[in-house]
Amino acid sequence: MACADVKMDIQEDDQCQCQDAQKWPRMVRYQATKFSEDQNGTLTSVLGSLQVVSGLLSIGIGLTFAVSMVMNQFLVTLFRVSHVTGTLFIIAGVVSSMLLRYPVLLTVSVTINRACIIVALVAVALISTDLMQWDQNYEQYLKMEVLELLMLGLQLLLTIILCLWISKEKHAQLNN
Protein backbone atom coordinates (compact mmCIF):
# COMPACT_ATOMS: atom_id res chain seq x y z
CA MET A 1 0.00 0.00 0.00
CA ALA A 2 1.36 3.42 -0.91
CA CYS A 3 1.43 6.39 1.42
CA ALA A 4 2.49 10.01 1.11
CA ASP A 5 3.09 12.99 3.36
CA VAL A 6 1.66 15.43 0.80
CA LYS A 7 -1.43 17.47 1.67
CA MET A 8 -4.17 16.94 -0.87
CA ASP A 9 -7.39 18.75 -1.73
CA ILE A 10 -10.49 16.73 -2.42
CA GLN A 11 -12.18 17.51 -5.70
CA GLU A 12 -15.64 16.13 -6.11
CA ASP A 13 -16.84 15.19 -9.54
CA ASP A 14 -20.29 16.75 -9.96
CA GLN A 15 -21.05 14.85 -13.15
CA CYS A 16 -20.72 11.40 -11.63
CA GLN A 17 -22.61 11.82 -8.36
CA CYS A 18 -25.65 9.62 -8.24
CA GLN A 19 -28.74 10.09 -6.14
CA ASP A 20 -28.61 6.60 -4.71
CA ALA A 21 -25.44 6.62 -2.59
CA GLN A 22 -25.92 3.00 -1.52
CA LYS A 23 -25.97 1.70 -5.07
CA TRP A 24 -23.18 3.77 -6.65
CA PRO A 25 -20.00 4.87 -4.84
CA ARG A 26 -19.12 8.53 -4.78
CA MET A 27 -16.29 9.56 -7.13
CA VAL A 28 -13.50 11.53 -5.44
CA ARG A 29 -10.23 12.71 -7.03
CA TYR A 30 -7.18 13.93 -5.14
CA GLN A 31 -4.73 16.56 -6.30
CA ALA A 32 -1.45 17.59 -4.66
CA THR A 33 -1.53 21.17 -3.37
CA LYS A 34 2.14 21.69 -2.48
CA PHE A 35 5.52 20.19 -3.21
CA SER A 36 7.52 19.05 -0.23
CA GLU A 37 11.19 19.88 0.27
CA ASP A 38 13.84 17.20 -0.27
CA GLN A 39 14.01 15.78 3.24
CA ASN A 40 15.91 12.62 2.36
CA GLY A 41 19.15 14.22 1.24
CA THR A 42 19.18 12.64 -2.20
CA LEU A 43 21.37 15.47 -3.52
CA THR A 44 24.13 14.51 -1.09
CA SER A 45 23.88 10.91 -2.27
CA VAL A 46 24.11 11.88 -5.92
CA LEU A 47 27.07 14.20 -5.34
CA GLY A 48 28.72 11.54 -3.17
CA SER A 49 28.32 9.00 -5.96
CA LEU A 50 29.84 11.45 -8.42
CA GLN A 51 32.76 11.91 -6.03
CA VAL A 52 33.32 8.15 -5.94
CA VAL A 53 33.26 7.88 -9.73
CA SER A 54 35.64 10.82 -10.20
CA GLY A 55 37.93 9.33 -7.54
CA LEU A 56 38.01 6.03 -9.43
CA LEU A 57 38.87 7.88 -12.65
CA SER A 58 41.61 9.76 -10.84
CA ILE A 59 43.10 6.51 -9.54
CA GLY A 60 42.94 5.10 -13.09
CA ILE A 61 44.87 8.08 -14.40
CA GLY A 62 47.35 7.62 -11.54
CA LEU A 63 47.88 3.97 -12.46
CA THR A 64 48.58 5.04 -16.03
CA PHE A 65 51.14 7.52 -14.70
CA ALA A 66 52.73 4.87 -12.48
CA VAL A 67 53.08 2.37 -15.30
CA SER A 68 54.27 4.69 -18.04
CA MET A 69 56.54 7.21 -16.29
CA VAL A 70 59.68 7.13 -14.20
CA MET A 71 59.07 7.70 -10.50
CA ASN A 72 60.99 10.98 -10.17
CA GLN A 73 60.24 12.35 -13.63
CA PHE A 74 57.32 14.59 -12.57
CA LEU A 75 55.89 15.77 -9.26
CA VAL A 76 52.62 14.00 -10.04
CA THR A 77 54.30 10.61 -10.00
CA LEU A 78 56.74 11.46 -7.23
CA PHE A 79 54.00 12.32 -4.75
CA ARG A 80 51.40 9.95 -6.23
CA VAL A 81 48.97 12.85 -6.47
CA SER A 82 46.33 10.95 -8.44
CA HIS A 83 46.30 8.02 -6.04
CA VAL A 84 46.04 10.18 -2.92
CA THR A 85 43.33 12.48 -4.27
CA GLY A 86 41.39 9.61 -5.82
CA THR A 87 41.38 7.60 -2.60
CA LEU A 88 40.41 10.60 -0.51
CA PHE A 89 37.56 11.50 -2.86
CA ILE A 90 36.28 7.91 -2.85
CA ILE A 91 36.20 7.94 0.97
CA ALA A 92 34.47 11.35 1.00
CA GLY A 93 31.94 10.16 -1.57
CA VAL A 94 31.10 7.01 0.37
CA VAL A 95 30.62 8.97 3.60
CA SER A 96 28.50 11.58 1.79
CA SER A 97 26.35 8.86 0.24
CA MET A 98 25.85 7.26 3.65
CA LEU A 99 24.34 10.49 5.02
CA LEU A 100 20.98 9.38 3.68
CA ARG A 101 20.83 6.50 6.15
CA TYR A 102 23.17 7.76 8.87
CA PRO A 103 22.69 11.50 9.47
CA VAL A 104 25.07 11.21 12.44
CA LEU A 105 27.95 11.26 9.92
CA LEU A 106 27.21 14.88 8.98
CA THR A 107 30.18 16.33 10.88
CA VAL A 108 32.50 13.58 9.62
CA SER A 109 31.41 14.24 6.05
CA VAL A 110 32.02 17.99 6.34
CA THR A 111 35.49 17.34 7.81
CA ILE A 112 36.46 14.85 5.10
CA ASN A 113 35.18 17.11 2.32
CA ARG A 114 37.14 20.06 3.70
CA ALA A 115 40.26 17.87 3.79
CA CYS A 116 39.54 16.93 0.16
CA ILE A 117 39.48 20.60 -0.80
CA ILE A 118 42.84 21.24 0.88
CA VAL A 119 44.51 18.16 -0.66
CA ALA A 120 43.05 18.96 -4.09
CA LEU A 121 44.41 22.51 -3.95
CA VAL A 122 47.87 21.15 -3.11
CA ALA A 123 47.53 18.70 -6.00
CA VAL A 124 46.54 21.51 -8.37
CA ALA A 125 49.68 23.41 -7.29
CA LEU A 126 51.88 20.35 -7.96
CA ILE A 127 50.35 19.71 -11.38
CA SER A 128 50.64 23.40 -12.27
CA THR A 129 54.32 23.27 -11.37
CA ASP A 130 54.77 20.30 -13.69
CA LEU A 131 52.91 22.07 -16.49
CA MET A 132 55.12 25.15 -16.18
CA GLN A 133 58.06 22.99 -17.25
CA TRP A 134 56.37 21.97 -20.51
CA ASP A 135 58.73 20.05 -22.79
CA GLN A 136 57.91 18.71 -26.26
CA ASN A 137 59.58 15.38 -25.40
CA TYR A 138 57.00 14.71 -22.67
CA GLU A 139 53.96 16.16 -24.42
CA GLN A 140 51.89 12.96 -24.09
CA TYR A 141 52.46 12.78 -20.34
CA LEU A 142 51.75 16.46 -19.86
CA LYS A 143 48.46 16.06 -21.72
CA MET A 144 47.56 13.36 -19.20
CA GLU A 145 48.44 15.82 -16.43
CA VAL A 146 46.05 18.33 -17.99
CA LEU A 147 43.39 15.59 -17.90
CA GLU A 148 44.17 15.01 -14.22
CA LEU A 149 43.95 18.76 -13.62
CA LEU A 150 40.50 18.85 -15.24
CA MET A 151 39.46 15.87 -13.10
CA LEU A 152 40.63 17.72 -9.99
CA GLY A 153 38.62 20.76 -11.07
CA LEU A 154 35.51 18.60 -11.33
CA GLN A 155 36.22 17.02 -7.95
CA LEU A 156 36.76 20.42 -6.36
CA LEU A 157 33.50 21.72 -7.80
CA LEU A 158 31.57 18.69 -6.51
CA THR A 159 33.16 18.93 -3.09
CA ILE A 160 32.54 22.66 -2.69
CA ILE A 161 28.88 22.25 -3.67
CA LEU A 162 28.58 19.31 -1.28
CA CYS A 163 30.22 21.23 1.58
CA LEU A 164 27.90 24.19 1.08
CA TRP A 165 24.85 21.92 0.92
CA ILE A 166 25.84 19.91 3.99
CA SER A 167 26.64 23.08 5.95
CA LYS A 168 23.21 24.43 5.04
CA GLU A 169 21.58 21.22 6.29
CA LYS A 170 23.70 21.27 9.44
CA HIS A 171 22.63 24.84 10.26
CA ALA A 172 19.01 23.89 9.57
CA GLN A 173 19.28 20.98 12.01
CA LEU A 174 20.84 23.19 14.68
CA ASN A 175 18.07 25.78 14.32
CA ASN A 176 15.32 23.15 14.75
**Per the domain annotation, does 100 fall within a domain?**
yes
**Per the domain annotation, does 169 fall within a domain?**
yes
Distances (CA, A) of 15 to 2, 12, 18, 27, 28: 28, 9, 9, 9, 11
Q: Which domain holds residue 142?
A: 42-175
Tens digit of each residue's pLDDT (9 = 90 or more) over 28-66? 666 655 544 555 568 888 899 999 999 999 999 989 888
Tens digit of each residue's pLDDT (9 = 90 or more) over 82-137? 999 999 999 999 999 998 888 888 889 889 999 999 999 999 999 999 889 878 88
**Per the domain annotation, does 67 fall within a domain?**
yes
pTM confidence score: 0.72
Of the listed ranges 3-7, 41-45, 49-53, 67-71, the one predicted with least confidence: 3-7
- Pairwise CA distance, residues 57 & 67, whole Å: 15
Residue 8 has pLDDT above 70, yes or no: no
